[in-house]
């Protein structure tokens, strides 16, 4: 319900889609993780259930708990009250404790080895529990797997995936579950693509990545690393060996501007620098370093450079001793900087020097061709009147910064040189493969796209969603059977519903971090040095903090359900509502749509009161869902029991539709 002009109310009659839409965190997640479900399980102390809910639809749940862009938090209704629930940190909390569900003791071995079958079975059992919050993939999966029958020419078919980033890993994971045999090609010496070489270790520990990769490998997925397509093996050869090929290479090359001096010695790409650091290669950094950009990757670069300022005696190839200062220069103002607030804050703590509203004009070189300074001009605006990115500068307002190294971090692009020989794959005007968003195919029927190469740079979780979807599309092509998901919505009444005391007053618990001096201080020995790349900044929630933060969730899957046959329109519920989200209004002040008109007509006819139109003497209780905090005071106050607290549960069922082979 929303107020319209002149005290008119725009009223929506609840439908199945309406109830699902109320769980904003789940709707915002590209893989539809029931964030509310695992957050409330943490609040109740049911941590294993919380982990299973988080892991069900997301094969990279533990990684997302560290570095996801958290669209669920951006959508969280709690932020309308004060601040969003710290959903991502809560996912990390349970993932850190229960990733052991994916492992078991191997006979005769004290090491814990991956047991994907055990975890999948655990997820299936959880999905079939009546009270469970069912994930997109695991709900009804038990019966689906038992009925799955691949055609003789499709079962175990080999699929190639080019790129082992989040899209490639998610695609490989789900393809393996669907009975296919994926092989993942990766140009780097280690799997996981940009997860391993693009995200700094101080944000995403390498052993965590390795554990996720090993789990997927144990499902039967083969990884072929140190293999560049078009150089070590051609795309044509891959297409001959496999019945389908998924290109999921991501954006692994830095963009740069063609400025005077941009070819100078000391001008670097940020993505390339992150890769060198991650792989332990020597980095050519010294003096004053200027990073150009304002996004999260720019901060990753700047903070990585700061951590390269010490010397580790046992690992000299990883450190450079001569960096004096690190500057970050952005077109945007501080208020409009695209980087996350936490990145900005932690960058400030670690010594990143910010300059805003500046656009690079020229890089000044010494006689030997090395960088000596960079000239910026003041940025007056970023976008034109139509909202298009079109920076405007004041060429008379110049700023010159001394610099020994300039690092570009203004965007990324893919390396598609391996497609030059593929004449049946058409390219767009932007020099990207032409792509059908519905089938996920290129103009070559056996070649699919997933991740950034398909939809452009987005969040990690978007790439996971894309990888999962392409797995289903490839399965359909290979098997000639379409996967169909049916959704059933059920309301379950909650007897004796109660919330934690003062839950609406709890303040967001900030995620604990290492103090700046611990991140940056020199330690003896060969494990850490000044600016250690391995010292993880976020230390994560303690159990008590996690439970407290989980209790802040408004539990938007719980709804107040009104029984009009019992309601006496006394208005007691509206009187007691602390958020003033209920109101008793006359019918003539409510805007009509088809469902509302039908409901009102039925109600009035049942009372033999229909005359001309909808008389004003009839009234209704309407509710503003944006304000409701699910406190249940209205249900407690109702003298006739017309209001119940009920939880929405979603049951999903997979089935197969035959005969779709193109």
**Helical (H) or strand (E) element with 209:** helix 206-218
| Per-residue pLDDT at 658 | 66
Average pLDDT of the residues in 548-576: 93
| Per-residue pLDDT at 314 | 34
Q: pLDDT > 90: what percent of the chain?
A: 67
3-state secondary structure of 195: helix
| Per-residue pLDDT at 522 | 46
pLDDT at residue 242 greater than cutoff 70: yes
Pairing relationship of beta strands 103-105 and 112-114 according to DSSP bridges? antiparallel
- Higher-pLDDT residue of 258, 603: 258
Instruction: Measure the CA–CA gap between 28 and 485, rounded to whole angstroms.
Output: 19
| Per-residue pLDDT at 100 | 57
CA angle, residues 426, 194, 472, in degrees to nearest 5: 55
43: CB partners within 8 A, 6+ apart: 500, 547, 550, 551, 553
| Per-residue pLDDT at 136 | 43
- For tokens 């309406």, name the residue: 18
Domains of the chain: 2-19+556-658 (3.30.70.20), 150-252+414-479 (3.50.50.60), 259-410 (3.50.50.60)
Altogether, the residues listed in the chain come to a count of 662
Burial of 205 (0-12, 13-18, 19+ CB in 10 A): middle
Lowest mean pLDDT among 279-288, 587-596, 626-635: 587-596
| Per-residue pLDDT at 481 | 84
Average pLDDT of the residues in 525-541: 71
Pairing relationship of beta strands 286-292 and 405-408 according to DSSP bridges? parallel
pLDDT at residue 159 greater than cutoff 90: yes
- CA count, 13 A, side-chain hemisphere, 568: 7
Instruction: Measure the CA–CA gap between 631 and 638, rounded to whole angstroms.
Output: 14
- Quick: pLDDT tens for 276-319: 999 999 888 999 999 999 999 999 999 999 988 653 333 333 33
306: CB partners within 8 A, 6+ apart: 323, 326, 350, 351, 352, 520, 531
Instruction: Measure the CA–CA gap between 557 and 648, rounded to whole angstroms.
Output: 5
Cα-Cα-Cα-Cα dihedral sign, residues 231, 235, 241, 245: positive
Bridge partners for 561 per DSSP = 644
- Per-residue pLDDT band for 130 (boundaries 50, 70, 90) equals low
| Per-residue pLDDT at 371 | 98
3-state secondary structure of 360: strand
**Helical (H) or strand (E) element with 159:** strand 158-162
- Per-residue pLDDT band for 604 (boundaries 50, 70, 90) equals low
CA 594 to the chain's CA centroid: 37
| Per-residue pLDDT at 178 | 87
| Per-residue pLDDT at 489 | 83
- Structural tokens at position 273: 């620098």
pLDDT at residue 336 greater than cutoff 90: yes
- Higher-pLDDT residue of 123, 304: 304
| Per-residue pLDDT at 493 | 93
pLDDT at residue 375 greater than cutoff 80: yes
Q: pLDDT > 70: what percent of the chain?
A: 82
Average pLDDT of the residues in 605-620: 56
| Per-residue pLDDT at 119 | 75
Instruction: Measure the CA–CA gap between 255 and 253, rounded to whole angstroms.
Output: 7
| Per-residue pLDDT at 189 | 96
3-state secondary structure of 344: helix
pLDDT at residue 414 greater than cutoff 80: yes
CA angle, residues 397, 400, 406, in degrees to nearest 5: 125
pLDDT at residue 140 greater than cutoff 60: no
Mean pLDDT of the chain: 86
CA angle, residues 242, 220, 205, in degrees to nearest 5: 110
Query: CB of 194 within 8 A of CB of 63?
Result: no
pTM to 2 decimals? 0.89
- Per-residue pLDDT band for 104 (boundaries 50, 70, 90) equals very low
- Higher-pLDDT residue of 590, 336: 336
| Per-residue pLDDT at 127 | 62
**Helical (H) or strand (E) element with 651:** strand 643-658
Instruction: Measure the CA–CA gap between 498 and 632, rounded to whole angstroms.
Output: 7
Query: CB of 42 within 8 A of CB of 33?
Result: no
Nearest CA among 81, 123, 101, 73 for reference residue 342: 73
| Per-residue pLDDT at 524 | 42
| Per-residue pLDDT at 117 | 67
Instruction: Measure the CA–CA gap between 161 and 473, rounded to whole angstroms.
Output: 13
| Per-residue pLDDT at 223 | 98
| Per-residue pLDDT at 422 | 94
Average pLDDT of the residues in 144-160: 62
166: CB partners within 8 A, 6+ apart: 60, 63, 193, 195, 451, 460, 461, 463, 464, 467
pLDDT at residue 89 greater than cutoff 70: yes
| Per-residue pLDDT at 129 | 62
Instruction: Measure the CA–CA gap between 136 and 123, rounded to whole angstroms.
Output: 12
| Per-residue pLDDT at 654 | 72
pLDDT at residue 546 greater than cutoff 60: yes
Nearest CA among 272, 266, 262 for reference residue 194: 272
DSSP 198: T
Query: CB of 430 within 8 A of CB of 314?
Result: no
Instruction: Measure the CA–CA gap between 438 and 440, rounded to whole angstroms.
Output: 6
pLDDT at residue 510 greater than cutoff 90: yes
Instruction: Measure the CA–CA gap between 651 and 524, rounded to whole angstroms.
Output: 56
- Higher-pLDDT residue of 167, 283: 167
| Per-residue pLDDT at 593 | 66
Query: CB of 262 within 8 A of CB of 256?
Result: yes
DSSP 590: B
Bridge partners for 9 per DSSP = 3, 590
């Amino acid at each position: 319900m929303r107020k319209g002009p002149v005290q008119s109310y725009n009223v929506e009659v609840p439908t199945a889609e309406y109830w699902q839409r109320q769980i904003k965190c789940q709707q915002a997640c590209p893989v539809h993780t029931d964030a509310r479900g695992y957050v409330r399980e943490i609040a109740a102390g049911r941590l294993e259930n919380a982990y299973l809910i988080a892991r069900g639809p997301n094969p990279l749940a533990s990684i997302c708990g560290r570095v996801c862009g958290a669209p669920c938090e951006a959508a969280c209704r709690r932020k309308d009250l004060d601040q969003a629930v710290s959903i991502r940190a809560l996912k990390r909390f349970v993932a850190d404790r229960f990733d052991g569900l994916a492992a078991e003791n191997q006979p005769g071995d004290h090491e814990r080895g991956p047991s994907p079958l055990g975890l999948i079975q655990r997820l299936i059992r959880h999905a079939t529990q009546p009270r469970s919050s069912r994930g997109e993939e695991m709900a009804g999966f038990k019966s689906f797997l038992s009925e799955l029958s691949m055609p003789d020419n499709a079962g175990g078919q080999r699929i190639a995936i080019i790129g082992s980033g989040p899209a490639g890993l998610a695609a490989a994971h789900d393809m393996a579950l669907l009975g296919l045999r994926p092989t993942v090609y990766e140009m780097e010496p280690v799997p996981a693509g940009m997860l391993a070489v693009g995200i700094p270790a101080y944000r995403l520990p390498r052993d965590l990545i390795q554990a996720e990769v090993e789990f997927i490998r144990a499902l039967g997925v083969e990884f072929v690393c140190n293999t560049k397509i078009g150089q070590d093996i051609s795309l044509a050869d891959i297409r001959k060996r496999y019945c389908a090929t998924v290109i999921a290479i991501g954006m692994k090359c830095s963009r740069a501007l063609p400025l005077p001096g941009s070819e100078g010695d000391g001008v670097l790409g940020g993505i390339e620098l992150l890769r060198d650091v991650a792989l332990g290669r020597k980095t050519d950094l010294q003096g004053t370093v200027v990073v150009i950009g304002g996004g999260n990757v720019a901060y990753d670069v700047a903070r990585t450079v700061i951590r390269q300022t010490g010397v580790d005696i046992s690992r000299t190839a990883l450190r450079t001793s001569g960096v004096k200062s690190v500057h970050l220069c952005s077109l945007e103002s501080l208020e409009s900087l695209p980087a996350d607030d936490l990145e900005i804050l932690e960058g400030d703590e670690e010594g990143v020097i910010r300059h805003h509203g500046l656009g690079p004009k020229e890089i000044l070189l010494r006689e030997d061709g090395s960088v000596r300074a960079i000239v910026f001009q003041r940025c007056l605006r970023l976008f034109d009147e139509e909202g298009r990115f079109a920076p405007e500068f004041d060429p008379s307002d110049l700023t010159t910064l001394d610099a020994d190294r300039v690092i570009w971090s203004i965007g990324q692009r893919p390396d598609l040189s391996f497609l030059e020989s593929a004449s049946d794959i058409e390219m767009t005007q932007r020099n990207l493969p032409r792509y059908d968003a519905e089938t996920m195919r290129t103009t070559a029927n056996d070649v699919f796209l997933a991740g950034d190469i398909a939809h452009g740079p987005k969040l990690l979780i978007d790439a996971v969603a894309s990888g999962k979807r392409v797995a289903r599309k490839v399965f359909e092509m290979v098997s000639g059977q379409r996967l169909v998901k049916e959704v059933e919505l059920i309301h379950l009444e909650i007897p004796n519903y109660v919330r934690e005391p003062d839950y609406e007053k709890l303040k967001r618990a900030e995620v604990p971090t290492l103090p700046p001096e611990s991140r940056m201080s020199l330690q003896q020995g060969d494990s850490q040095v000044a600016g250690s790349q391995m010292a993880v900044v976020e230390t994560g929630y303690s159990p008590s903090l996690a439970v407290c933060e989980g209790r802040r969730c408004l539990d938007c899957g719980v709804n107040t359900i009104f029984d009009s046959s019992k309601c006496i329109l006394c208005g007691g519920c509206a009187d007691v509502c602390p958020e003033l989200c209920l109101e008793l209004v006359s019918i003539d002040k409510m805007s009509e749509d088809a469902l509302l008109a039908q409901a009102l007509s039925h109600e009035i006819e049942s009372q033999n009161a229909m005359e001309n139109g909808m008389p004003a003497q009839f009234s209704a209780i309407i509710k503003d869902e944006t304000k409701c905090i699910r406190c249940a005071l209205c249900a407690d106050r109702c003298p006739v029991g017309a209001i119940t607290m009920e939880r929405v549960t979603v049951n999903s069922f997979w089935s197969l539709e035959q005969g779709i082979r193109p």
